Amino acid sequence: MRALLRRCLAVWRKLRYAGDAHQCPVCGSRLRRFLPMGTRPAARCPVCGSLERHRLIWLYCRERSDLFDGRGKRLLHIAPEPCLSAALRRIRALDYLGADLERRHATVKMDVTSIQFSDAVFDVILCNHVLEHVQEDRKAMRELLRVLKPGGWAIMQVPIVDAPTQEDARVTSAAERTRLYGQHDHVRQYGRDYADRLRGAGFLLTVDAYAAGLAPDARARFGILADEAIYFCVRPA
């Protein structure tokens, strides 16, 4: 019943917001506008709920990766966002697995610092805005590397500011974490040295300014931000 209601709501939203000015690459909806969120005027897709970062990842995977080439792949999606999860589950060639510490929107319960799977079992990992919540983030990175197949790849996005990473294990109050790190449940604020942590865990890393390379009208159409780079991580073969 809930699934039917969600489908009906999606159809209603597609009709309500139908237009030619914008397009959500995640759900494919053609829209007259994206919805605002906080200070961002065009943040959320009214149909699937995707945000700028979700649409960027989908476009990047479509244009710069082998995710949609039709060959079978096993994909691990950490803390799966419903908009991406729903779209990925529809791709028949993907053996999709969503995992989360609290099993919210996920198939299995999993601690990213102690992954229960064997070595080298996944072709692709998506880990989007997760590591800023994890105390032992370097351990989590090593675990994600371990379960990737040699030559496999991951996209591992986090909020980043143009300053060194700031963290302090003594900061535990929600108010202080919000002040220092931007959100009550963040345990650090990553800076550009985030790339050094990924390389230190063993990944071959490409920091790809894909969004900045798109034409301004394409960014506006798809509702993505120019200043978010993709952290494309490969396990050495």
Question: CA–CA separation, 218 vs 55, rounded Å?
Answer: 12
Query: N- to C-terminal Cα distance for the chain?
Result: 46
Is residue 70 within 8 Å of residue 168, measured between CB atoms?
no
pLDDT of residue 48: 96
| pTM attached to this predicted model | 0.94
Q: Pick from 147, 158, 153: which is nearest to 193 by CA?
A: 158
The pLDDT tens digits along the chain (237 residues) read 666 666 777 777 888 898 999 999 999 999 999 999 999 999 999 999 999 999 999 999 999 999 999 999 999 999 999 999 999 999 999 999 999 998 777 889 999 999 999 999 999 999 999 999 999 999 999 999 999 999 999 999 999 999 999 999 999 999 999 999 999 999 999 999 999 999 999 999 999 999 999 999 999 999 999 999 999 999 999
Domains and CATH numbers, the chain: 17-158+190-234 (3.40.50.150)
Neighbours of 13 (CB within 10 A): 18
pLDDT of residue 3: 61
Taking CA atoms, 23 is separated from 52, 62, 103, 129, 222, in Å, by 12, 15, 31, 23, 5
Is residue 223 within 8 Å of residue 40, measured between CB atoms?
no
pLDDT of residue 73: 98
pLDDT of residue 118: 98
Return all residues near 85 (Cβ < 8 A) that are at least 6 apart. 77, 96, 98, 105
CA 56 to chain centre: 9
pLDDT of residue 116: 97
How many helical (H) and strand (E) elements, i.e. helices and strands, does the chain have? Answer: 8, 13
Taking CA atoms, 116 is separated from 111, 124, 143, 144, 154, in Å, by 8, 17, 10, 11, 18
Residue type (1 letter), 53: R
Is residue 26 within 8 Å of residue 84, measured between CB atoms?
yes
SS3 of 183, please? coil
pLDDT of residue 219: 97
pLDDT of residue 16: 87
Is residue 164 within 8 Å of residue 193, measured between CB atoms?
yes
Question: CA–CA separation, 83 vs 160, rounded Å?
Answer: 22
